[in-house]
Amino acid sequence: MKYLLATLLLALSLLVGVSSALAGDMKADAAMASDAIAKAEAARKKAASVDGEWRDTGKFIKQAQEAAKAGDFAKAVKLAKKAESEGRLGYEQQMSQRELKIPSYLKY
Q: pLDDT by residue (tens digit) across 1-51?
A: 666 656 656 666 666 554 544 445 468 899 999 999 999 999 999 999 999
What's the confidence (pLDDT) of residue 73? 96
What's the confidence (pLDDT) of residue 16? 58
**Region of 101 on the Ramachandran plot (φ > 0 left; ψ -120 to 50 alpha; else beta):** beta
Q: Are 39 and 61 in contact (CB under 8 A)?
A: no
Determine the Cα angle at 72 with ends 71 and 74, to 5°.
135
Q: What percent of the chain has pLDDT over 70?
A: 74
What's the confidence (pLDDT) of residue 25? 46
Can you tell me the mean pLDDT for 78-92? 97
Chain centroid to CA 79: 7
